[in-house]
Structure 1
């Protein structure tokens, strides 16, 4: 995707600013958390002693370095990371069960060797943007932000300016889990000082000359970000005027660092809960978003029909985001290469079970040790694994039985 196309996306401008800003925040946090005045406050102000102060400094360095390393791993992913390869022999030779597009007639049926050899409807290729006819395996989606197909596409993350896909879910999930823990531990010693400083600033804002001058400026309601920013800036001005009356812990810098950190912790904690829940269920973020889009379109169609109208856009969206899944099942037969069989609405073909799902996408056989930075920065699923997804055993057995039944019925009809 060219530079002009990238700049036409609103998210591109956020990506240019947000990741460097987060890296700058990590550096700022490390500088403050390892500063002599904070060590003195922990040792003497909180009366915890020099040993705790030194331990805190080393812990701050280790935790911030860990979060930064995982973040950088995601930020500097190669452009072609998780791009689909050429179809492997097991797909080209139709030797395995894999997801295929819905048949045009919407009916299960057998596929002859001649139909399979001609390409037919089984293997999908992408001609959008830079893909240029590249194979599009099951659970692969074309990212409109990057202009590329990604194996096991989850979502495009503006925080790291990259796609999050199955092969990189390990470090992404680790980042979401490590960030709130890091903030919780490192912010704990300064809670009392921050709350005290905030109360003083709030109490003095009404009588502070600089604050009143700023609030008296008419454009303060607009610049930089409306009424909310107007009062926030006034609050910070009041805080900056009372800082350092007793010690360095009263500085507004500590309050800003604490506030931004806790906001990031809340965001990442919520995202971590959602991400782990998805992983346990065997779903990817794209699966969830498609289900929501289908439900929204379905509601729109229902409302339109109640009015005696037809919503063509909603109908097209329902067709695009349909939850139906169809699989090719190979058969050992002289005439037929296999059968195309639908999954039942109650079946989840990619749900292998909570433990199996987590191990496939994140754990990789390392147990709890997967979250350690030197483990999680390694890629999760390989390209080969993300090209041919494993299927739930119960669903697989039913698909094979249905394919065998179709073959038996065809044989009976021929005789």
Structure 2
């Protein structure tokens, strides 16, 4: 999920004018001229997890629904205790929140490219069309970027302006991975190695959904799903907390009085091979297998399954809360997950290069060059080729402008403005387009660096 086309050398200046005509063919020795690489056939862990995790979630939801609705609400509250109003008052908000959470999950799980519905038919296509979000088309994203630029450059009445994402030497920035086939890259477009294609506003490929999370197409639904898990857990399992704790204590007392379990497991040396946690889990499974069958004296929801489901739900809540907090913290700084991971990798490479320079005094040129090449690949600084054409004289010029995150490349303003933009809130995105587009201040800085707009007075 990284850009692999940046050159080895980068210009130190933020703007320069080139004398080559825009239509000049690319030199075969340039990095952009290698053939596209075939799709990777190796095993990717994220893809394997993407097949397993949704199934685990589905199984957990089925068992949890049986425990909460069937065993506790229906059999215990309604049939045994003759409560009618209480289950209704409790289950209505629980089902409402569950359906809202399910809708958010399906929007990410069934997200698809715009071309998908035109080439597929059947149940899966219907589900994707009606429940899934549509990823922005990369070509349309570039057209929208140019339209915004044309609007901003209306003050340049006699000059046509075009801005393209490029390398430091002015070569077009293309993706050669998998099936992209030298696709031109736009701002905030990243390649997903798990899906084998470029995504506009790419954040990360999530194994929970076996799909890409992009801003704002699926990022809003992703955060909404994560935020819905803690309240849904409390509402659904809250009445069962005392029963789960009571059942856990009963199983513990049952184990202490059962000589068979102690002789088969707890008194054996190999019970400690996997550590205390493994010893306790296997012991719990043995206790559950010898747990007496349900009777009239025991509540329907009183089973070894209850503490397990409550504990697993707590794990889901912890993971979802951590992911939601991490995502919102990054969005406050206008950073997506892929930006953070690339920044971490860039920092590690910089420390590695500094350490190697100290050890070898700069003599190991081959390794240092390889590290610099990787650093250029992961550099947060973006380069833009500004092409201009005078409508009267027909004179054409090109300038290469570098813009870094510190200069306002990513940010949209305040923290709440950044969050609102990336989550696709109407009040935040109506005036400046989608979050994956360059902001108007960033566009102005690029045009100012290319000497097309006057620089703002610092006073």
What TM-score bracket applies, with the shorter chain setting the length?
A: 0.7 to 0.9
- When residues 32 and 125 of structure 1 are mapped into structure 2, their CA distance, relative to the original with a 3 A threshold, is same
* Aligned 8 A contact 2:67 2:301 in 1: no
**CA deviation map 1:371-390 (0-9, x unaligned):** xxxxxxxxx99xx947x713
* Aligned 8 A contact 2:247 2:302 in 1: yes
**Residue 228 (1) aligns with residue 289 (2):** no
The aligned runs of 1:3-82 (5 Å cut-off) are 5=40, 8-39=43-74, 50-78=84-112, 81-82=135-136
**Residue 238 (1) aligns with residue 287 (2):** yes
- Determine the structure 2 residue equivalent to 1:156: 205
In the TM superposition, what is the alpha-carbon distance from 1:43 to its structure 2 partner? 7.6
In the TM superposition, what is the alpha-carbon distance from 1:306 to its structure 2 partner? 2.5
The worse-fitting range, judged by mean Cα deviation, of 151-160 and 298-307 is 298-307
- Determine the structure 2 residue equivalent to 1:254: 306
**Residue 174 (1) aligns with residue 224 (2):** yes
- Determine the structure 1 residue equivalent to 2:258: 208
The worse-fitting range, judged by mean Cα deviation, of 328-337 and 179-188 is 328-337
The worse-fitting range, judged by mean Cα deviation, of 72-81 and 18-27 is 72-81
- When residues 64 and 130 of structure 1 are mapped into structure 2, their CA distance, relative to the original with a 3 A threshold, is same
In the TM superposition, what is the alpha-carbon distance from 1:254 to its structure 2 partner? 1.3
Q: What secondary structure sits across from 1:63 in the alignment?
A: helix
Q: What secondary structure sits across from 2:251 in the alignment?
A: helix
In the TM superposition, what is the alpha-carbon distance from 1:176 to its structure 2 partner? 1.0
**CA deviation map 1:99-130 (0-9, x unaligned):** 623423xxxxxxxxxxxxxxx62x42323211
- Determine the structure 1 residue equivalent to 2:447: 400
Return the match for 2:380 from 316, 323, 343: 323
* Aligned 8 A contact 2:380 2:404 in 1: no
RCO higher in 1 or 2 (8 Å CA, sep ≥ 6)? 2
* Aligned 8 A contact 1:129 1:148 in 2: yes
- When residues 136 and 48 of structure 1 are mapped into structure 2, their CA distance, relative to the original with a 3 A threshold, is farther
Q: What secondary structure sits across from 1:357 in the alignment?
A: helix
* Aligned 8 A contact 2:188 2:202 in 1: yes
The worse-fitting range, judged by mean Cα deviation, of 21-30 and 94-103 is 94-103
Q: Following the alignment from structure 2 to structure 1, what is the Cα–Cα distance between the partners of residues 338 and 259?
A: 52
- Determine the structure 1 residue equivalent to 2:406: 346
Q: What secondary structure sits across from 1:288 in the alignment?
A: helix
RMSD of Structure 2 on Structure 1 (CA): 3.6
Query: TM-score, with normalisation over the residues of structure 1?
Result: 0.76
In the TM superposition, what is the alpha-carbon distance from 1:184 to its structure 2 partner? 2.0
**CA deviation map 1:286-345 (0-9, x unaligned):** 111110110111111122223236544533322211122223446564534453222256
Q: Following the alignment from structure 1 to structure 2, what is the Cα–Cα distance between the partners of residues 366 and 72?
A: 25
- Determine the structure 2 residue equivalent to 1:297: 349
In the TM superposition, what is the alpha-carbon distance from 1:135 to its structure 2 partner? 2.6
Q: Following the alignment from structure 1 to structure 2, what is the Cα–Cα distance between the partners of residues 299 and 48?
A: 68
In the TM superposition, what is the alpha-carbon distance from 1:165 to its structure 2 partner? 1.2
- Determine the structure 1 residue equivalent to 2:132: none
**Residue 391 (1) aligns with residue 439 (2):** yes
- Determine the structure 2 residue equivalent to 1:356: 417
* Aligned 8 A contact 2:107 2:218 in 1: no
Q: What secondary structure sits across from 1:34 in the alignment?
A: helix
The worse-fitting range, judged by mean Cα deviation, of 270-279 and 130-139 is 130-139
- Determine the structure 1 residue equivalent to 2:158: none
**CA deviation map 1:254-312 (0-9, x unaligned):** 11211111110110011011112222322111111110110111111122223236544
Structure 1: gaps spanning 5 or more residues: 105-119, 368-379, 409-415
* Aligned 8 A contact 2:421 2:434 in 1: no
Q: Following the alignment from structure 2 to structure 1, what is the Cα–Cα distance between the partners of residues 71 and 60?
A: 19
* Aligned 8 A contact 1:60 1:186 in 2: yes
Q: Following the alignment from structure 1 to structure 2, what is the Cα–Cα distance between the partners of residues 262 and 194?
A: 13
**CA deviation map 1:39-68 (0-9, x unaligned):** 5656899x9964232222223322222222
- When residues 237 and 6 of structure 1 are mapped into structure 2, their CA distance, relative to the original with a 3 A threshold, is farther
- When residues 209 and 324 of structure 1 are mapped into structure 2, their CA distance, relative to the original with a 3 A threshold, is same
More helix by share: 1
- Determine the structure 2 residue equivalent to 1:107: none
- Determine the structure 2 residue equivalent to 1:185: 235
* Aligned 8 A contact 2:175 2:185 in 1: yes
In the TM superposition, what is the alpha-carbon distance from 1:189 to its structure 2 partner? 0.9
Q: When the two structures are aligned, how many residues end up with a matched partner?
A: 370
